Amino acid sequence: MKHGKIFVAVILLSMAFGAAMANAQKPQEAKPEAAANMPETYVIGESDLLAINVWHEPELTRVVPVRMDGKITLPLIGELQASGRTVEELRATISAELKKYLEAPEVTVIVQEPRSQFFTIVGKVQKPGSYPLGQRLTVIDGIALGGGFKDFAKVGKIYVVRTHRDGRSERLPFDYKRAVSGDLNRNYVLEARDMIIVP
């Protein structure tokens, strides 16, 4: 009888341990980091991946890419211009269009992958390349994402090449030492397609 009780206890403990391990290994559902940090003022661009949710309307909820013509296609609405609009502007437009079919649509728009917004860092850094610009980043943030400087980097001669929408480009000098010493006016906020060059 005693052995039977021990056997039952072992079985129960094994089941409890197995359930705990299953819960621990179960991946948690979470929004992508970029999406969680994305402001409503983010300007949507071509190739961005948008998660559009209509509350209690699963057939209208979907993830859509912004095509190269800047448009997306949604049920009931059809084609809609997305590129060049902020997240909030697109949400309001979708909501207004759906009011033709639904009484009070509750719409959310999340930029799941900000593929159109990126900056590049090249030169004497540990990890040169292009990085997503899904949140507010400064030049110092960009250098940190690039892994920091390599030996002999000329940190006083860094500059940012900024390309404007009209194709015009300008060169913005950046003095790293002055920026990290507290001169925050020297620490520019990065814009889409900025290139940080570390000689």
Q: Using one digit for the tens of pLDDT, what is the confidence trace for 94-138?
A: 999 999 999 999 999 999 988 888 899 999 999 999 998 867 899
Q: What is the CATH number of the domain that holds 109?
A: 3.30.1950.10
Position 11 in a domain: no
> What one-character-per-residue DSSP string does 152-195 give?
T--TTSEEEEEE-TTS-EEEEEE-HHHHHTT-GGGSPBP-TT-E
| Same domain flag for 91 and 141 | no
Decide if pLDDT at 145 tops 90. Answer: yes
Give the residue, 22 or 154, on which the prediction is more confident: 154
Burial 29-53, CB ≥16 within 10 A → b, else e: eeebebbeebeeebebbbebbbbbe
What is d(CA 67, CA 86) in angstroms, rounded to the nearest whole number? 16
Position 15 in a domain: no
Decide if pLDDT at 166 tops 60. Answer: yes
Burial degree of 18 (CB within 10 A; 0-12, 13-18, 19+): exposed
Decide if pLDDT at 8 tops 50. Answer: no
Question: Cα 165 from chain centroid?
Answer: 21
| Same domain flag for 136 and 177 | yes
| Same domain flag for 107 and 174 | no
In this predicted model, what pLDDT tens digit does every residue of 25-84 receive, in sequence order? 333 333 334 444 567 778 898 889 999 999 999 999 999 999 999 999 999 999 999 999
| Same domain flag for 122 and 190 | yes
pLDDT confidence band for 88 (50 / 70 / 90): very high
Position 16 in a domain: no
pLDDT of residue 37: 52
Give the residue, 9 or 38, on which the prediction is more confident: 38
| Same domain flag for 103 and 136 | no
| Same domain flag for 134 and 163 | yes
| Same domain flag for 144 and 174 | yes
What is d(CA 99, CA 81) in angstroms, rounded to the nearest whole number? 18
What is d(CA 156, CA 178) in angstroms, rounded to the nearest whole number? 8
pLDDT of residue 17: 43
For 123, the domain range is 118-198
Position 21 in a domain: no
| Same domain flag for 125 and 188 | yes
Domain count, the chain: 2
Q: Write down which residue in 63, 81, 113 finishes a domain.
A: 113
Min mean pLDDT across 123-127, 174-178, 180-184, 195-199 is at: 180-184
Which amino acid is it at 51? A
Min mean pLDDT across 19-28, 48-57, 141-150 is at: 19-28
Residues forming a β-bridge with 92: none
